[in-house]
A and B are shown apart, each in its own frame.
Chain A
Amino acid sequence: MRVALFVPCFIDAFFPQVGVATLELLERFGVSVDYPLDQTCCGQPMANNGCQADAAATEALFLKNFSGYDYVVAPSASCTHHIRKHFDAIPQTEAVTQLRARTFEIVEFLHDVLKVEAFPWAEFPHKVGLHNSCSALRALKTASISEIAGESFSKPLALLSKVKGLTTALPARPDECCGFGGTFSVFEEPVSARMGYDKVRDFAQTEVEYVVSADSSCLMHQQGCAERLGLGMKFIHIVEILNGARA
């Protein structure tokens, strides 16, 4: 199995420990991981703003870096969603459609592909609140949502339940968007910040020590809000916990 690691630009720049944890975690399960050194971004920032032409060269570079692998794995539902559902600024050749189908977000890769049974090294004796990004929830469907009635399930919670000592708490609005939204966070700053404030206050009500998510972008936004509000909780990516991070 040839697996390439995609470390999205903002994780590369601001949360390198998330990239390291993803790499180490995959290696713990015997996966041989390549990290193409020339990788940058998946093209989502431009494409989400409608700028297809500006996204094309970035998508072409992504294809060059990542084609030919059995799987591309990224610690980001948001970027995975872009690649799987929207990566169409370049011609849809066989190589592109294969790349899109073979790109996985780390939680679904662990849960659905590796079918991980245990994380013996992981212990996190803390009360955590899980934040599922909208891409994870409503696009990749890694958990059930309150808008649709049906059997409830959660792949991230299923993974976290295998971590020793970890307990979870549910906020009042568990699947409300936190307001990051990419460039929305800057161009619609007032609403974005308000949504972030409401989100972290909702978590604060449950007295969690940590907010955990599979998306660092949501965490970066929420952490920025929580710090400004003086709320004490901490923020951590799910792979860090699964890889055995201690507080």
Chain B
Amino acid sequence: MSRVDHAGLSAKFLAAEANAEFHDRRLWDLRMKRDQQMAMIPEWQDLRDRASAIKEHTLSQLDRYLEEFEANATKNGATVHWARDAAEHNEIVHRLLSERGVRTLVKSKSMLTEECEMRPYLEARGIKVIETDLGERIQQLDDEPPSHIVIPAVHKLRGDVSKVFARTIGSEPGNDDIHYLAKSQRDDTRPYFLDAEAGMTGGNFIVAETGAVVTVTNEGNADLSANVPKLYIACVGIEKLVPRLADLAIFIRLLSRSAIGSPISQYTSHFRKARAGGEMHIVLVDNGRSARLGMADFWTSLKCIRCGACMNTCPVYRRSGGLSYRAVYAGPIGAIIDPTFDLKKFSALPFASTMNGSCTDVCPVKINIHEQIYAWRRVIAEQRQLPFVKREAMRIAGRIFSSPKLYRLALKLTRLANNGLPRFAIYTMLNPWGHHREVPAPPVETFNAWYRANRGGRR
């Protein structure tokens, strides 16, 4: 796969001024609301420490806790399946559906099924898949992936949604009233719950002690997906585990506050067993997670609870949009997870960062995101995945900066160029700096020259 051109895709995103402006403002607003919620909880930093410790403990003994979860889920009456990778996940799900003659699957949002590219897999085998959450449904109808892990269509304005709905579900063209649009989607989607033979959810958490799959949602579609059809399938990554029910409380307190700045979500549901007469299946998916667990610099990225706070605060994500990452996971968390899937393809993403560090400071489970971004840059350079221009620039810079003579000569040449070249040459030839910015005017002399002249070269 060729390298994602994040800079080029960002330029396209920014060219749609109204969308770009709204995107930044909307997500910054969530960051502010998150700050307000944090301010109301004096023990916030303590909660982050505890959440981080619980996750690190669990990950360090993942095999034991996973088996405990399997035993308790089985005791509850659910069936647990193990999927090594995306292909096995999709096969398991397809087998469960096809064995029972399922033609329509309703589902609530799951980033894992995006990661496994499950929808196209099932649709190619004649099974209709209906996303039921508003944002995810908008993206499905527009044939686009989610751009944000919590707010999948946050890059769209209401007018964009109005157009998508008018084209796909027959809403009134030009009507961009938010309540009308939400109702149109609901009216369109609700009947599928009654028709579908199977329902699917992801899982925000699974609890080893209770064998439960826990979803944290606002629209309630996870509950409908899990309870209305006879067959319920939950697909969950193996890192979503917490040991005890008591541990979960800490994460529930952190999750909604970090994600959208609300103290709690509308629904926190624990699914333990199928409804009367039904079946519940849980597919536990690895898909690269075990390998990540073995990476000394990057394993703590598995602590992630997918709240999206790092995306909301990231000044680069806010101004480039999730789709510019061309990956299932965008933003800071994406920049440190995506390279584990395909280093070359996603090698530009750790460079789509100013290393400002805000992501690390909002992360409710204290993942050192910006430090991992820095560490990925080393891996990418070592694996010779830097673009040629950058690699050469750094090689030359390394030579110049390691020689006082070459360095002085280079400064002299830069000054000659800046003083001698006409404006059009500086602004079109030198580098992209001048596309939107003025180049600083070089002063009459360097500090070094000033010092030699005024302080006599005293050492």
Which A residues are closer than 8 A to B by beta carbons? 7, 9, 11-20, 23, 34-41, 43, 45-46, 48-58, 60-61, 86, 134, 138-139, 145-150, 173, 175-177, 179-198, 220-221, 223-225, 227-228
**How distant is the Cα of A190 from the Cα of B438 in the complex, in angstroms?**
14
Q: Are A189 and B446 within 8 A (Cβ)?
A: no
**Given known contacts A50-B377, A138-B361, A189-B7, is B28 in contact with A57 (CB within 8 Å)?**
no
Stretch at the interface among B121-129, B191-199, B216-224, B401-409: B401-409
Q: Are B451 and A225 within 8 A (Cβ)?
A: no
Contact of A176 among B315, B382, B398 (CB under 8 A): B315
Sample 12 A-B pairs with CB under 8 A, ordered by A number.
A9-B401, A15-B443, A19-B450, A46-B397, A52-B382, A134-B354, A149-B35, A184-B353, A186-B432, A192-B354, A227-B437, A228-B437
Query: Can you list the 10 inter-chain pairs with the closest CB atoms, starting with the nearest?
Result: A181-B354, A54-B398, A224-B437, A50-B377, A50-B381, A57-B402, A193-B436, A19-B447, A147-B361, A134-B356
**Given known contacts A40-B401, A48-B374, A228-B436, is B362 in contact with A147 (CB within 8 Å)?**
yes
Q: Are B394 and A51 within 8 A (Cβ)?
A: yes
Q: Are B10 and A190 within 8 A (Cβ)?
A: yes
Contacts of B186 in A (CB 8 A): none
Q: Which residue of B lies closest to A61 (CB)?
A: B402
**How distant is the Cα of A53 from the Cα of B397 in the complex, in angstroms?**
12
Which B residues are closer than 8 A to A by beta carbons? 6-7, 10-11, 14, 20, 24, 28, 35, 38-39, 42, 44-45, 313, 315-316, 319-320, 351-358, 360-362, 374, 376-382, 386, 390-391, 393-395, 397-404, 407, 411, 414-415, 431-433, 435-440, 442-443, 445-452, 455, 457, 459
Contacts of B436 in A (CB 8 A): 189-190, 193-194, 196-197, 225, 228
**Given known contacts A9-B401, A36-B459, A195-B315, is B433 in contact with A186 (CB within 8 Å)?**
yes
Q: Are B432 and A227 within 8 A (Cβ)?
A: no
Contacts of B390 in A (CB 8 A): 49, 183, 187
Q: Which residue of B lies closest to A45 (CB)?
A: B397
Contacts of A19 in B (CB 8 A): 447, 450-451
Contact of B313 among A13, A147, A221 (CB under 8 A): A147
B388 CB, min distance to chain A CBs, angstroms: 13
Q: Are B10 and A37 within 8 A (Cβ)?
A: no
Contacts of B414 in A (CB 8 A): 13
Contacts of B378 in A (CB 8 A): 50, 52
Contact of A224 among B28, B377, B381, B438 (CB under 8 A): B438
Contacts of B407 in A (CB 8 A): 9, 40-41
Contact of A227 among B35, B374, B438, B445 (CB under 8 A): B438
**Given known contacts A37-B452, A50-B382, A179-B354, is B433 in contact with A224 (CB within 8 Å)?**
yes
Contacts of A11 in B (CB 8 A): 447
Contacts of A176 in B (CB 8 A): 315
Q: Are B381 and A49 within 8 A (Cβ)?
A: yes
Contact of A16 among B44, B437, B450 (CB under 8 A): B450
**How distant is the Cα of A189 from the Cα of B431 in the complex, in angstroms?**
10
Q: Are A191 and B448 within 8 A (Cβ)?
A: no
**How distant is the Cα of A194 from the Cα of B356 in the complex, in angstroms?**
16
Q: Which residue of A lies closest to B370 (CB)?
A: A138
Given contacts A134-B358, A184-B351, 9 further A-B contacts (CB under 8 A): A19-B450, A37-B457, A50-B379, A51-B394, A138-B360, A149-B44, A183-B390, A224-B438, A228-B438
Q: Which residue of B lies closest to A134 (CB)?
A: B356
B15 CB, min distance to chain A CBs, angstroms: 9
Q: Which residue of A lies closest to B320 (CB)?
A: A191
Q: Are B7 and A188 within 8 A (Cβ)?
A: yes
**Given known contacts A149-B45, A177-B315, A228-B436, is B431 in contact with A186 (CB within 8 Å)?**
yes
**How distant is the Cα of A95 from the Cα of B20 in the complex, in angstroms?**
49
A153 CB, min distance to chain B CBs, angstroms: 16
**How distant is the Cα of A113 from the Cα of B431 in the complex, in angstroms?**
40
A214 CB, min distance to chain B CBs, angstroms: 15
Q: Are A180 and B354 within 8 A (Cβ)?
A: yes
Contacts of A17 in B (CB 8 A): 443
Contacts of B432 in A (CB 8 A): 186-187, 189
**How distant is the Cα of A31 from the Cα of B400 in the complex, in angstroms?**
31
Contacts of B459 in A (CB 8 A): 34-37
Q: Which of A7, A146, A180, A182 has the most CB of B within 10 A?
A: A146
Contact of B398 among A23, A37, A51, A196 (CB under 8 A): A51
Contacts of A39 in B (CB 8 A): 404
Q: Are A12 and B448 within 8 A (Cβ)?
A: yes
Contacts of B382 in A (CB 8 A): 50, 52
**Given known contacts A50-B377, A194-B14, A223-B440, is B402 in contact with A177 (CB within 8 Å)?**
no
**How distant is the Cα of A134 from the Cα of B459 in the complex, in angstroms?**
33
